[in-house]
Structure 1
Amino acid sequence: MTSLRRRLFLLVAAVLVLAGAATGMVLHAADRADRADRPRAGDPTVRGGVVTLRQPDRLAFVNGAAGPHRTAVATVPAENPGGGRTASELKCVRFYAAAGTGVCLQSDPGVLKQSNRALLLDSRLRTKRTFALAGTPSRARVSPSGRFAAWTVFVSGESYASTFFSTRTSILDTRTMRLIPSLETFSVVRDGKPYRAADVNFWGVTFAADDDTFYATLNTDDKTYLVRGSVSGRSVTTLTENVECPSLSPDGTRVAFKKRVLSRTDLWREYVLDLRTLRETPLAERHSVDDQATWLDDDTLAYALPTDGKVGSSDLWSVPADGTGSPRRLIAGASSPAPL
Structure 2
Amino acid sequence: MTTSLQNRTRVLILLVAVLLLGGVGTGAVLYAADRSADRDRAQPGGPVVTRGPVSLRPGEHGAARTMVFRNMAWGPHRDELATVPADHPDGPRTASGVQCLRFYTGGGTGICLQAERGALQDTYRAVVLDDHLKELRSFPVAGIPTRSRVSPSGHLAAWTVFVSGDSYAGTDFSTRTSIVDVRDWNLRDNLEDFDVVKDGKPYRAPDINIWGVTFADDNAFYATVATGGQTYLVRGDLAARTLTTLHQNVECPSLSPDGTRIAYKKRVPDAPVDAPWRLYVLDLATMTETATAEQRSIDDQAVWSDGSTLLYALPGDFGADLWTVPADGSGAAVRLLEAAVAPAYLG
Query: Of the candidates 203, 208, 221, which is equivalent to residue 214 of structure 1?
Result: 221
Q: Is the 8 A contact 1:284 1:327 kept in 2?
A: yes
**C-alpha distance after superposition, 1:192-238 (max 9, x if no partner):** 111000000000000003x1110000000010000001011100100
Q: 2:187 matched to 1:179?
A: yes
**Identity in percent:** 58
| Cα drift, residue 147 of structure 1 | 1.0
Q: Which whole-Å CA distance do the structure 2 matches of 1:187 and 1:280 have between them?
A: 27
Query: Of the candidates 136, 139, 146, which is equivalent to residue 131 of structure 1?
Result: 139
Query: Of the candidates 48, 53, 57, which is equivalent to residue 54 of structure 1?
Result: 57
**Structure 1 unmatched ranges of 5 or more:** 1-29
Listed as ranges, the matches of 1:160-309 within 5 Å are: 160-209=168-217, 211-262=218-269, 265-308=274-317
Q: Which whole-Å CA distance do the structure 2 matches of 1:224 and 1:31 have between them?
A: 50
Aligned length: 307
Whichever residue aligns with residue 309 of structure 2, its letter is T
| Cα drift, residue 265 of structure 1 | 4.5
**C-alpha distance after superposition, 1:266-309 (max 9, x if no partner):** 3210000000000000001111100000011111110000015x
Q: 1:82 to 1:160 in 2, by over 3 A?
A: same
Q: Could you say what secondary structure the match of 1:219 adopts? A: strand
| Cα drift, residue 82 of structure 1 | 1.0
| Cα drift, residue 163 of structure 1 | 3.6
Q: Which whole-Å CA distance do the structure 2 matches of 1:145 and 1:33 have between them?
A: 43
| Cα drift, residue 113 of structure 1 | 2.5
Q: Could you say what secondary structure the match of 1:184 adopts? A: helix
Q: Is the 8 A contact 2:170 2:274 kept in 1?
A: no
Q: 1:45 to 1:302 in 2, by over 3 A?
A: same
Q: Which whole-Å CA distance do the structure 2 matches of 1:327 and 1:33 have between them?
A: 36
Moved more, 185-194 or 263-272: 263-272
Give the structure-1-normalised TM-score.
0.87
Q: Which whole-Å CA distance do the structure 1 matches of 2:226 and 2:311 have between them?
A: 24
Q: 1:272 to 1:31 in 2, by over 3 A?
A: farther
Q: Is the 8 A contact 2:42 2:48 kept in 1?
A: no
Query: Of the candidates 84, 87, 90, which is equivalent to residue 79 of structure 1?
Result: 87
Q: Root-mean-square deviation (CA), in Å? A: 1.8
Q: Which whole-Å CA distance do the structure 1 matches of 2:166 and 2:34 have between them?
A: 23
- Structure showing greater Rg: 2
The residue aligned with 1:102 is 110
**C-alpha distance after superposition, 1:122-166 (max 9, x if no partner):** 000000001001000000000011110000000000111244100
Q: Which whole-Å CA distance do the structure 1 matches of 2:107 and 2:76 have between them?
A: 28
Q: Which whole-Å CA distance do the structure 2 matches of 1:31 and 1:63 have between them?
A: 23
| Cα drift, residue 112 of structure 1 | 2.0
Q: Which whole-Å CA distance do the structure 2 matches of 1:109 and 1:256 have between them?
A: 34
Q: Which whole-Å CA distance do the structure 2 matches of 1:31 and 1:271 have between them?
A: 47
Query: Of the candidates 104, 114, 122, which is equivalent to residue 130 of structure 2?
Result: 122
Q: 1:296 to 1:32 in 2, by over 3 A?
A: farther
Q: 1:192 to 1:46 in 2, by over 3 A?
A: same
The residue aligned with 2:165 is 157
The residue aligned with 1:322 is 328
Give the structure-2-normalised TM-score.
0.85
Q: Which whole-Å CA distance do the structure 2 matches of 1:276 and 1:131 have between them?
A: 37
Q: Is the 8 A contact 1:160 1:266 kept in 2?
A: no
**C-alpha distance after superposition, 1:300-326 (max 9, x if no partner):** 110000015x5xx00001111111111
Q: Could you say what secondary structure the match of 2:224 adopts? A: strand
Whichever residue aligns with residue 112 of structure 1, its letter is L
Whichever residue aligns with residue 337 of structure 1, its letter is P
Whichever residue aligns with residue 293 of structure 1, its letter is A
**Structure 2 unmatched ranges of 5 or more:** 1-32, 60-64
Q: Is the 8 A contact 1:171 1:179 kept in 2?
A: yes
Q: Which whole-Å CA distance do the structure 2 matches of 1:135 and 1:36 have between them?
A: 29
Q: Is the 8 A contact 1:73 1:87 kept in 2?
A: yes
